[in-house]
Amino acid sequence: MLEFITNVNNAVNGVVWGWPALILLAFVGVLMTCLTRFFQVSHFGHWVKMTIGAIFQDRDVVGHTKDKSISQFQSLCTALAATVGTGNIVGVAGAILVGGPGAVFWMWLIAFFGMMTNYSENVLGIYYRRKNQAGEWSGGPCTTCATASAVRRAARGSARCWLCCSLFSASSRPSASAT
């Protein structure tokens, strides 16, 4: 049984993390960068001013806002916590080990274009978020897919995939990288 699970896992990993998926991700990042006219470069000063720079201008930026939403600094910390984790640290070390110092260049290049993929996902999340009965904002990838997608079956399927991913992969990653 364990061998069967290993074979299925290897087959899925070959498709999900194979060359077609990597090329598709890189293409989407380059496309979004071009469509937004290099937004990550042209608006860098605004990003710094509204996140880290806001701490020095307004001392209340780190606390909760009056309408129960999070502040700019809390948003920055949440985004960084969701982006940088044990898997990324171990992934970089593994890439340097396997690919040598040249892997750092390719990681920076893909990260530059990947910023726009992340930005686009966040913009869609903000656009499709909704207020719940308590008056609080709620949303996320599943809400975006369910609201934006004309095909409800695709939204439900992606929600199931995210559920499986969050149950099985996210909890095992830190323990696997610590050993």
Q: For 68, left (φ over 0), alpha (ψ -120 to 50), or beta?
A: left
With pLDDT > 90 as the criterion, what percentage of the chain qualifies?
11
List, for residues 41-58, the tens digit of each pLDDT value: 998 888 788 777 777 776
| Mean pLDDT for the stretch of residues 6-21 | 82
Q: Could you please report the per-residue DSSP string of 36-77?
A: TTSHHHHTHHHHHHHTHHHHHH-GGGGS--TTS---HHHHHH
25 near 105, Cβ under 8 Å?
no
Q: Is the pLDDT of residue 5 over 90?
A: no
Helix H or strand E segment including 18 = none
Report if residue 133 sits inside a domain: yes
25 near 114, Cβ under 8 Å?
yes
Report if residue 104 sits inside a domain: no
List, for residues 96-149, the tens digit of each pLDDT value: 999 888 998 988 898 899 889 888 888 888 888 888 888 877 777 777 777 776
Range with top average pLDDT, 101-105, 159-163, 172-176? 101-105
Q: Range of 163's domain?
A: 128-179
Report if residue 167 sits inside a domain: yes
Report if residue 18 sits inside a domain: no
**Total Cβ atoms within 10 A of residue 121:** 13
Report if residue 15 sits inside a domain: no
Number of domains observed in the structure of the chain: 1
Range with top average pLDDT, 5-19, 79-93, 161-175? 5-19
Report if residue 27 sits inside a domain: no
Report if residue 179 sits inside a domain: yes
Q: Is the pLDDT of residue 157 over 90?
A: no
> Taking the model in full, what pTM does it have?
0.65
- Name which of 80, 59, 83 is nearest 71 in CA terms: 59
